[in-house]
Amino acid sequence: MLVVDSIEVFYGEFQALFGVSIEVAEGETVAIIGANGAGKTTLLRTIAGVLRPRSGQVRYRGMRIDGRPAYAVTRLGVAMVPEGRKIFPSLSVRENLLIGRQSRRKGPWSLERVFDLFPVLRERADFPGIDLSGGQQQMLAIGRALMSNPDLILMDEISLGLAPVIVRELYETVQEITRAGTTVVIVEQDVTRSLQVADRVYCLLEGEVSLSGRPADVSREQISLAYFGV
């Protein structure tokens, strides 16, 4: 479904990704792990069309999408739950969710269905989105992405800064989302948590893929080496 083919990505003169290749099949949940600054967010932002690779390709369902603007990629069915949640501050909870409709895609997700998935959002629908707690904001960011009726959803560190019970709850909904057939790419520093839900895992180290495989097939030592480089 998604093929990232040896992309090199730069911020000005600084190279953040070196020939990174990953593949994601329809219906899979793929985890991308790696330490601070490894390039995980850069990889997601390149897939989503925010950044352009200097070389290499990103293909989605056989179409090249590198070089297309982010809004066009979203309209093809690739949604992002961005790092830091990025709730629109001047929009209410409901309005933040309704923004998801800008993808102009038809599908199963509606305001009501997102409210059923995260009932707390229904209770606070008319509050400003940024008045929610961190965990609720993360639910809102996931709900907003679902509202675009994506086929592929990219999630960037949804557990960051949240209490373990909330993280567990969020991961349960991630599994609900994957069960419904949506393909998920999940970026995490929380290795244990992400390996529990992933069908396959890639590890990034200083801008390169240092390990890939099925969670069952890779040992703790291999992961630790690929993650820290030592």
Interface residue list for ligand ATP (CB under 6 A):
11, 14, 16, 34, 36-42, 83, 189
For helices 134-146 and 164-179, give the axis angle rounded to 10 degrees.
Answer: 10
Instruction: Decide whether 18 or 88 has the Cβ nearer to ligand ATP.
Output: 18
Residue with Cβ nearer Mg ion (139 or 155): 155
Does position 128 interact with other proteins (CB under 8 A)? The reply is yes
What residues contact 134, with CB distance under 8 A and at least 6 apart? 85, 161, 162, 166
Q: Minimum distance between the CB of residue 204 and ligand ATP, rounded to whole angstroms?
A: 6
Q: Which is nearer to ligand ATP, 14 or 219 (CB)?
A: 14
Give the strand pairing for 200-205 and 29-34.
Answer: parallel
By C-alpha distance, which of 145, 134, 147 is closest to 44? 145
Identify what 54 binds: other proteins, ligand ATP, Mg ion, none; CB under 5 to 8 Å per kind. none
Q: Least distance in Å: CB of 210 to other proteins? A: 27
CB 88 within 8 A of CB 100: no
Structural tokens at position 72: 């066009």
Site for Mg ion, rule CB under 5 A? 41, 83
